[in-house]
Chain A
């Protein structure tokens, strides 16, 4: 029995769930049944993923008879894909617990569930693809199913736009991925991934680098590297909450998986500069992602930009890993690979959690706008606690899981001096500095992201009347538990990951990473050390000290209780609080070269600048730099090209007959030759 068998079970469960959803999704019972099957599939996938971390790579299995492409599907469970598959499973289980309470049974829901389970199936197939064609078929299946997922409410123009951005950029990326695969399979002569990997060394370096560059751009569309990220803030707000959670938690990670696949399995050995490109792209993505997140009022757009930031962090880690590999530092290579994959798992958990909670908030209050919320910790207490756990994780604060993986990435980057080349070392340090800026801004952004909606006073009646009745709690709660488990159980996780890394890198990092007593060291003992488990225990105990002081020194009888000194304010009003945009104003002012804000003010009349005779309207917009300066010119260029070619399709039947005649003549000539 191999992990692949568990994956078969998962695939079967998800296929059944898709059918069940399509057929019975209009009823509550059918909805529940479909989700139960989905959860079963998720459990199987999680089990299979976890097992394949320890098992190593299975052999390539040919499944199914001749398919449309002329050959059977080729499947293989690899340890590199193990974490991704486990994440897929955990997310599927959480969403399966969440969906019955989030969706109302209807025809649209039936279609949605079918598309969602097909997307799950597609993701699993991508992760277990053993051959190039299988991979590409699975990739497209996943993309198209995700498109249907986003298009839950097709009559809404905003939804259609967002889904279209997703589809367009997915297809653009797909073309480049096909090109990358074709280059490698043509030069090595193999179409199975393990075959390509085994013979990659015989391919000239230029081809491999070209393939890697095509792959990083192609997969970068899906992963969300800047400037290929544009679909994320468009598609996430308009998709249903669990759809957005799935997109951010899993689909984006598949883009990262593709990059890792090419970087570490298919294209190596690569020189230093492809790694520098990856690292640079990742660092820039991380910084730009979080900066744009600071300017968003819509919770889901904010989370979408945060996903872009985390993708940047992971790709930076992978890029640095490639650089260390090229300079011979195999321990650091393995460390950064492990750290990057660990961050994938962590981010998958807490980002999914945050999106699910955003959905709960949206259903409870009717709005996604942070500036219309406030004080939700009183109205939605359980959701607030769960969201807080997710926020602690994503802000990378100890003792949660985000801290552990980011610490490892930083420690790996700080050891850039070991590469031996001054220039490379400086560039790695610059990347580390950019990630440091990103980390600080992330804390700032998530204080805002949690504080404005959940803390303080409600800013509108909807926020004041929100209720937790009927809102899903189990799904996000499971993910919160997973976050804590990933933090406290970091040594276990890292041990499993180093076993997995061994199959990819050939380096046994176990003894270097964990010297036995629950402490983590970043590959070299003379650098740093840290124990996530002890840190958690210590923090919990440290909280006990003020508690004991309070209990011992509690005021006895005869104390006078007076209200808190508030500056003598007569009555607090919600409008006295920070708003989301004023809280982020310092960042927006500092980085206004990036945001290029445009402000429009309309007054009742020119003689009345102070607005005494009527309201003054103020609107500030962030310029969509990438859409305006990159995509629109590209699209205009393509339209121009299309216009040039239009005369070919003149509609004239005689011209078409001439085409037919010319092609037949050409075929004869070619046949004769």
Chain B
């Protein structure tokens, strides 16, 4: 096993069955928070997978960050990250946190990566609870990454796939 695979195996062992998540809003519109909140609702129920929310960074294993990291929040974000004991995982959620929507300017960094070391990126605006579950599974090594193999091209131009927007 390569180092990376060893690391993934270790993370899966450590967190795969029981993970405590601390959410952090660095200036988002709170819709990502609503989707995250729905994870605890009966339909998606993250508890059945062994994931739990905790408000205390000292008890947290995973930091779930939304929002474009406004500069006013930088100190609090760093303090939250520093207060988490290792090993810890940082997951950036939503287009804002990934660098879209808001560019870097005097009031915001534009991307969470500018302040915290991100391990897993979850695109979406907002990402649905299913996407979040998939992302959390990738973070703990239970699920495989799929986006690497999606080309985002459609060869067949005769048929249109219907999708709700």
Direct contact of A and B (CB under 8 A): yes
**Which one, B77-85, B96-104, B110-118, B133-141, is touching chain A?**
B77-85
Collect the chain B residues with CB atoms within 8 Å of residue A565's CB. 56-58, 79, 83
Residues on B with beta carbons closer than 8 Å to the beta carbon of A562: 82-83
Instruction: Tell whether A555 is near chain B: CB-to-CB under 8 Å.
Output: no
The smallest C-beta distance from B58 to any residue of chain A, in angstroms, reads: 6
For residue A566, CB closer than 8 A to chain B, the reply is: yes
The dominant DSSP class at the A interface is loop
Given contacts A562-B82, A563-B82, contact A568 B75 (CB under 8 A): yes
Q: Which of B25-68 contact A (CB under 8 A)?
A: 56-58
Q: What separation, in Å, do the CA atoms of A590 and B56 have in the docked complex?
A: 33
Least Cβ–Cβ distance between A371 and chain B, in angstroms: 29
Q: How far is the CB of A564 from chain B (nearest CB, A)?
A: 9
Least distance between A565 CB and chain B CB atoms (Å): 4
List, in ascending order, chain B residues with CB within 8 A of A1's CB: none
How far, in angstroms, from A570 to B75 measured CA to CA in the complex?
6
- CB-defined interface of A560-580 with B at 8 Å, one 1/0 digit per residue? 101101101110000000000
Total residues of chain A contacting the partner, CB 8 A = 8
Interface check B10, CB cutoff 8 A: no
A563–B77 alpha-carbon span in the complex (Å):
14
Closest residue on chain A to residue B74 by CB atoms = A570
How far is B22's CA from A568's CA once the two chains are assembled, in angstroms? 13
For A568, what are the chain B residues with a Cβ–Cβ distance below 8 Å? 75-77, 79-80
* Complex-state Cα separation, A562 to B58, whole angstroms: 11
Q: With A and B bound together, what is the CA distance between A83 and B77 in angstroms?
A: 63
Who on chain A is nearest to B86 by CB?
A560
Query: Please, which residues of chain A bring their CB within 8 A of the CB of B79?
Result: 563, 565-566, 568
Interface pair A570/B76, CB less than 8 Å apart: yes
Hey, which chain A residues are within 8 Å of B57, CB to CB?
A: 565
CA distance A68 to B57 in the complex (A): 81
**C-alpha spacing A570/B78, complex, angstroms:** 10
Closest to A570 in B: B75
Give the Cβ gap from B20 to chain A, nearest Cβ, in Å. 15
Task: List which A315-331 residues lie within 8 A (CB) of chain B.
Answer: none
- Which partner residue on chain A sits nearest B83 by CB separation? A565
| Given A562-B83, A568-B76: 9 more A-B contacts, CB < 8 Å | A560-B86, A563-B82, A565-B57, A565-B58, A565-B79, A565-B83, A568-B75, A568-B79, A569-B76
User: 20 A-B residue contacts at CB 8 Å?
Assistant: A560-B86, A562-B82, A562-B83, A563-B79, A563-B82, A563-B83, A565-B56, A565-B57, A565-B58, A565-B79, A565-B83, A566-B79, A568-B75, A568-B76, A568-B77, A568-B79, A568-B80, A569-B76, A570-B75, A570-B76
Contact surface of A with B, Cβ cutoff 8 Å: 560, 562-563, 565-566, 568-570
Residues of B at the A interface (CB closer than 8 Å) are 56-58, 75-77, 79-80, 82-83, 86
